[in-house]
Chains A and B, each alone.
Chain A
Amino acid sequence: MTKATLAPHAAPKAPARRQPLASRRYTLEIRQQMSMPRQALVLGLAVLAGLAISGLILVAAGVPAGELFNEFIVTTLFDLQSLQAVLFQAAPLIMIGLAASIAFRARFWNLGLEGQMIWGAIGATAVSLHEIGPPALRLPLMAIAALAGGLLWALGPALLKLRLGVNEIISTLMLNYIASNFLLHLVYGAWKDPKDSFPYSPQFRSFERLPEFFGSSGMAVLLALLAMALAWWFVQASRAGLYLRFVNASPRVADAVGVPVRAIILGTVLGSGALAGLGGFLIAAGQEGRLTQAFYQGYGFSGILIAFLARNHPVAAAVVAALVATLFVAGRNLQVFYQIPFSMVQLIQAIVVMCVAASDFFIRHRLRRVAAD
């Protein structure tokens, strides 16, 4: 058959490619699997693509192109103060990334991370304001209160989903807004620092703050790494982790082979809330030293981004969190030096997520050419 006798066909499902003369059809197939190194390569390329697009936007926004690399890499990482800031930022991000990762493993879209952080910080602050426990135990008690605060705030959506099938995306998000408003109620009202007119709580006493450990951020990072180890143990080494893997792969099969699906989901979501609460504690008792009104902003989506890029693996999440911390610090520098609003960071994160998600397409599908003859 010659090319002339075949009419050009539109590609059925794949993006149309221009084939001027020859008629080629593309068909879409689901791939059975792709090797790990190749997956990592695709992932890496996608991240780079995302950053490149973001770079273009930054240039359009007024950052000189030559300065981009300088800003993002050099200034951020090779300046000691900046590096400290990165570590500072990394600790809560690791916590939130872990929180998101384990919830997603249970197929639970925990978008309420910010609300859980808020309640974690509120719990810790409550212990401080009411002076619960002797000074030596104050900090651990604050941590426990934070853990409980985040856990309890996640309990509602978890039960609603398990018992009633209420969509957790909406329920957790609504709770975020409720929590943030309650926080404002506290810091503008009952818990407002009488010393000045700013909306925050009184400062924590010295023993109510994270102690110095290799600089100001060492303790927080240590706690975050401990949490990472705990999460790794839960996911990889414990029996519950095996159950969780089945719940993630196929809840139906999990049910049929005897996995206690509901208990696993509930426990995992509560654990996620607890971690987020601890993240709030790290910021309140570490960075801020008090309860502030906007400390949680940006962490919610960052957590999702981290979990998504790390494919829900705890150790990878810690690594990605460190990278996101770099992004945060670079973003602040951009704000200071080039008046780029901090929401640029959010934009960059969204672009990277989209690129990585788009690359998932190539991991899961194969575009195959069906020859004209």
Chain B
Amino acid sequence: MSSALALRGIRKSFDGYLALDDAQFDARWGEVHALLGENGAGKSSLMNIAAGLYAPERGEMLVDDNAVRLAGPRDAARHRIGMVHQHFKLVRPFTVAQNILLGLPADQAGHRRQLAALEERIRAQAGELGFAIDPRQRVDSLSIAEQQRVEILKVLLAGARILILDEPTAVLTDQEAERLLRTVQGLAQRGCAVALVTHKMADVKAYADRVTVMRGGRTVATLDPRTTPAAELVRLTVGEAAAPAPRARSAPGPACLSLQGLSTPAQGGRQALAGVTLDVHAGEIYGIAGVGGNGQGELAAAIMGLIPEAGGDIVLEGFGSLRAAPATARRALGLAVIPADRYGHALAGGLSIAENFAIGQVHSGRYGSPWWLRQRRIDQDARDAVAAFDVQGVRSLRQKAALLSGGNAQKLVIAREFSKQPRLILAHTPSRGLDVRATAQVHARLLAARDAGAAVLLISEDLDEVLALADRIGVMAGGRIVAEFDQPADRQAIGQAMVHHD
């Protein structure tokens, strides 16, 4: 088997941040080659370079043993490289056929004839791969799994023989993921080279012929996953084994937060939240596990107060129904939020660290009356918090928050939210994009808050995180809590609940 795609010595930085440092990758014709690594390891960046979207600063790329330098995605397509991204690059109002047509060179026959001929080819190719698709359907009316299939058809019909799939199973159910990976295996058997970017060990072991492990922008090893034990793969992926957080379990208090039948109005036939009912007690961490896209984001938004039209009720012990309280007031009642989208819901990147910190408690009057801000007090508090919560990279309190690295930005959010001794904490994928050390620090903070008597609602798509932190686990699927487990919980049972819902 000869080499289809080879990247050697790749170096790439984004405005000072080194994303790839001497990265290598080598995929052969006819194999499924997995690219394994945690978030931020550089897998997507490396593959974006292979697909012609980014240009490397240093290093070389070979296609079929010929050195190439790609000028853009069209050039990559010419070299028979096609990439299916995590975030689909589909034009939503267009039909399937129109989307696929975009990537193809114009035809003499004229647009309408070309479109008709393409619709035929789409049906044929889909049939070959084992599924049916209507080329005249609008993309925004397709499910996520179907849209992904459109993306695959797109690259295949553009002539790709080297396929790169970036975290393809992240948004699929287990069944859909299985179908996809089997399709991918079929493609490899037909001679294509497939690069599969993933962080899921199970997929790698089951479907990959070889795996390259990346960590911190470098290539760590290339192995055969079938003969390498899972523990070894984990060790290579995460580096030093992160010690599991100590599990001191104190008796939980009364129910602090009670969700009763929380639901959202139907949009496009689907309800994001279809009646969520659960209780979180003081002094406990309630972890919500589930595949992404089952209403987790909407649940967080509803608790934050961003969905006023939600049905059902959110009751805060000692206050009553939160429906009466807008987002501003909820903060004042002791709700702390660590949202998933740091720069969309927690930090204003363009404002300074001091300002981002101050906004946490300025409503309560701690930093002065509405007529005059007490800047010195803000600065003092911010400085103390930055030190206490180990926020690194702060050269000045006036510097823009966007300059902080992911882990430190998250720590700043926590510093702000926890400074006011919250009684209720909502943490939504708190360790997304963080390295192992930062994740351990974040987890320690959550546990400490729990031990101090706060009620913590943890929503995470990372089952390991939920298992490590939660005292009780609820599985969320289809907008509802479908099963609850006490710790120690059976991982398999939880996994089952995540995919089999009625």
Contact = CB atoms under 8 A, between A and B. Distances in A.
Interface string B1-37: 0000000000000111000000000000000000000
B362 interface: yes
Contacts of A257: 331, 345-346, 359-360
Given A239-B373, A256-B337, A249 B362 contact: no
Interface string A5-31: 010011010000000000001010111
A25 B337 contact: no
Nearest to B332: A258
Contact of B363 (A29, A252, A258): A258
A9 B74 CA distance: 13
Nearest to B75: A9
A32 B402 contact: yes
A242 B370 contact: no
Contacts of A339: none
B328 A258 contact: yes
B71 A25 contact: yes
B345 A256 contact: yes
Interface in A119-140: none
B369 A256 contact: no
Nearest to B372: A237
A253 B343 contact: yes
A242 B359 contact: yes
Interface string B317-359: 0000000000111111000010100011111111100010011
B138 interface: no
B403 A253 contact: no
A250 interface: yes
Contacts of A9: 71
Contact of B72 (A12, A249, A256): A12
Nearest to B342: A253
A297 interface: no
A29 B343 CA distance: 19
A27 B55 CA distance: 8
A258 B363 CA distance: 8
Contacts of A6: 69
By DSSP majority rule, is chain B's interface helix, strand, loop, or mixed? mixed
Interface in A294-346: none
Contact of B403 (A29, A30, A33): A33
The range of chain B's interface size is 35 or more
Contact of A256 (B71, B304, B355): B304
A30 B350 CA distance: 14
A258 B57 contact: no
A245 interface: yes
A240 interface: yes
A254 B330 CA distance: 14
Contacts of B55: 25, 27, 370
A253 B369 contact: no
B348 A258 contact: no
B306 interface: yes
A238 B371 contact: yes
Contact of B370 (A29, A239, A245, A366): A239
A189 interface: no
Contacts of A31: 15
B328 A260 contact: yes
Contacts of B403: 32-33
Contacts of B359: 242, 246, 257-259
A250 B351 CA distance: 9
A260 B358 CA distance: 15
A29 B345 contact: no
A29 B304 CA distance: 35
Contacts of B369: 239
6 contacts: A238-B370, A246-B351, A252-B345, A256-B344, A256-B346, A257-B345
